Chain A
Amino acid sequence: MPYVIKLLHPKGERLPEQSSGCAGEMDWAIDHCALGLNCGGHRRKLLSCFGRSLASLDGKPADGQIMFWGEWEPPSRYKKMKHPSLGKDGLPSYIHTPSIRYIQEEERVLNTDPYVLGTTFYYSCCQQARLLAKPDLPENSIILFGSRFKHRFILDTVFVVERAVESIKLTATAREAIIAVHPNRPAGMSLFAGKMRTDTQTEMFSFFLVYRHRTPEDLRDRLSRLTIWIWPIMESTGLTIKIRGLRVHGWKTE
């Protein structure tokens, strides 16, 4: 039986450590826990890059610049957003273009989970030890990734499980962001590939919430729409849900 699981990026927007003007480079996020310091936790970034999106399920995919909330702990180039209402009420202060570099041997940095760049999404680590009795998730299990803001769940990614895969299939970039950050990756953790949209797979695929680039005037309005309250959706489906653990926000469909 497939699972429905809700997982949170525990912190809010990732900001530059020091104010360095309106633009700059942000390096890998440091894994403070691994260094024996207070854990900083994963944060989200508003990401901008070339991508593909759908305006309807039966429509043709559109290619172009897209913008979306996501977890990207490797480096990025950021710009401060200039709209006066941004940076408040859970709205972003910065927009990031993802970049990447090799991790140095002595570095302890954070992984990225879920990984949604490239042709396949991956779920590799987050809460697996506590969430899963065994490192397995049935096909078509759904993981809702997002953040919390003022008791609301800000959905950013819907991950539909396809199967567990070997890490050898990863691109060099994905390997660095997912695997190389864990020099002592715990045994028993699975790497799950997301079910992706194809010409024949037009339903039950993984996606993140996105809009095409617009003018600054409607920026705040459109960013506000990235907030989706998930509970009414869960209730509207009529699913009976079973709480697997208060701390992990996991449910099993019945």
Chain B
Amino acid sequence: MTSKLWHAVVAKVFSNKLNLGVYAEEPALDKRNNND
């Protein structure tokens, strides 16, 4: 049932010349960033 809504939103995104973002690189957490 919700697939109908999903496809409607996707169509709206593409009609507005936007893209679907499926991955964004997360920053790495390591000791060098620690304020301790």
Which residues of A are interface residues toward B (Cβ below 8 A)?
Answer: 1-2, 4, 47, 49-57, 61-62, 66, 68, 98-102, 104, 116-119, 140-142, 144, 155, 158, 160, 171-174, 176, 196-197, 203-212, 222, 225-226, 228, 230, 233-234, 236-239, 253
5 A-B residue contacts at CB 8 Å? A49-B24, A55-B19, A66-B24, A99-B33, A160-B2
Q: Tell me whether A101 and B22 are in contact (CB under 8 A).
A: no
Distance in angstroms between the alpha carbons of A231 and B29 in the assembled complex? 39
Give 17 A-B pairs besides A52-B22, A98-B26 with Cβ atoms closer than 8 angstroms: A1-B1, A2-B2, A51-B23, A53-B21, A55-B19, A62-B19, A68-B21, A100-B33, A102-B35, A102-B36, A158-B6, A211-B17, A228-B12, A233-B9, A236-B8, A237-B5, A237-B8
Judging by beta carbons under 8 Å apart, are A253 and B21 in contact? no
Residues of A within 8 A of B35 (CB): 101-102, 104
Q: Which residues of the other chain, A, contact B23 by a CB distance below 8 angstroms?
A: 51-52, 118-119
- The 10 tightest CB contacts between A and B, nearest first, are A210-B21, A117-B26, A53-B19, A52-B23, A207-B20, A51-B24, A208-B21, A101-B33, A118-B26, A225-B16
Does the CB pair A204–B6 fall under 8 Å?
yes
**A171–B24 contact, CB under 8 A?**
no
Most buried by A among B6, B27, B33: B27
Whole-angstrom distance between the alpha carbons of A50 and B8 in the complex? 27
Q: How far is the CB of A65 from chain B (nearest CB, A)?
A: 10
Residues of B bordering A, CB below 8 Å: 1-10, 12-14, 16-29, 33-36
**A101 proximity list for chain B (CB < 8 A):** 29, 33-35
Please name all residues of chain B whose beta carbon is closer than 8 Å to the beta carbon of A52 when the two chains form the complex: 21-24
Residues of B within 8 A of A208 (CB): 20-21, 24
A167 smallest CB distance to B (angstroms):
15
> Measured between alpha carbons, how far is A172 from B29 in the docked complex, in Å?
6
Chain B residues within an 8 Å CB radius of A211: 17-19
Q: Tell me the minimal C-beta distance from A53 to chain B in angstroms.
A: 4
- Residues of A near B5 (CB, < 8 A) are 4, 142, 233-234, 237, 239, 253
Chain A CB count within 10 A is highest, among B2, B6, B9, B23, for B23
Closest partner residue, chain A, to B17 (CB atom): A225
Given A54-B20, A66-B24: A140 in contact with B12 (beta carbons within 8 A) = no
Which residues of B are found within 8 Å of A144, using beta-carbon distances? 9
